[in-house]
Structure 1
Amino acid sequence: MRVALVTFIQGDQSGSRGILSKLENGSASRGNQVEVFDGFKDLLNTRLTIFDYIAVLYKPSGFFGGKLPSRIAEFLATSGTVAGKKGCALVLKHGFSGAKQCRSLMKILEAEGLMLDYFDIVRDEEHASAVGKKIG
C-alpha cells in the first residue's frame, strides 16, 4: 500500500526526526511504501491522489489551546483528490492540549473527506514504533 505521511512541524525539527523515522519504519515493516511530505514546504507540487492511505502528523507549537494552522486544510485542499481515502490523525505530545488538538485535526481531515481509521497522541520514539505499525 502506498502511504503518504504528511507532517506539519513548525520550527526546530531535531527532536521530532527520531519519532518521524520510527513512524516511517514501523509502517514500512508491514510492507507499505511510505513517502514523507513537509506540509509547510511542499505545497505546490504535492499530489496525494496516487496514495492509498494518508497519515497526517502535527506538532503543536504552544502548550495550551486546540487551534490548528489553516495550512493543514489548505494543503489537503490543493493536493488532489483525498476524499474517500483512508487515513489517520497523529499529534505529537507537547503541552497540555494534545487531545483537543487531535480532535481538531480529525475534524479537518474528515471535512476534506478522509475516512479516519486511527488516531493517537504520540508520546515518544518507543510509542512511535508501535503507532507506525498501525499506519496503513
Structure 2
Amino acid sequence: MRIGDLSERTGVSRRMLRYYEEQGLIASQRCANGYRDYAEPCVDRVQQVRGLLDAGLSTQTIRKILPCLGPPGRINIPHPTPETIALLEDECARMSQRITQLTRNRDAMSVYLAQVRRAARPEPDTAETAG
C-alpha cells in the first residue's frame, strides 16, 4: 500500500510515517516509480510504534525492542539479555516518574480550575438577598 493509504488506515501523518522509516521503526519497498510500498503487517507495526511512543518510549528504545514485538499486545523475548532487562527497567522507572509528575500537575490544575470557577460565579446581589 502507498504511504497515503497507510496514513489513512493508521491515523498517522505521512510526515510521521517517513520519520518512523528514517528511524528504522518501519520499512517499505520502493516501486519502480520511487513510491514507497508498505506491506499489510505495517499497519499493525505503526499502531504498535504509536502506542509505545504514547507510553513515553523514545524511538531509540522502540527500535531496540521492535525485534521482540509480535502481533499487537505481545512481546516475545525468549532469551532477554541483561542489557534488555536493564533498558526495560529504566523505561518503567522513567514512566513511573512521569506518572508522578503528571499526577502532581493534574492535581495542581484541578485546584486552580476550582478557584477559577469560584471566581467566575456571579456574586449574589446583596440588595436582593437583604430584602
TM-score for the superposition, normalised by structure 1: 0.25
* Structure with the largest fraction of helix: 2
Larger CA Rg, structure 1 vs 2: 2
* Structure with the largest fraction of strand: 1
Q: Identify which of structures 1 and 2 has the higher relative contact order when contacts are C-alpha pairs closer than 8 Å and 6+ apart.
A: 1
TM-score for the superposition, normalised by structure 2: 0.25
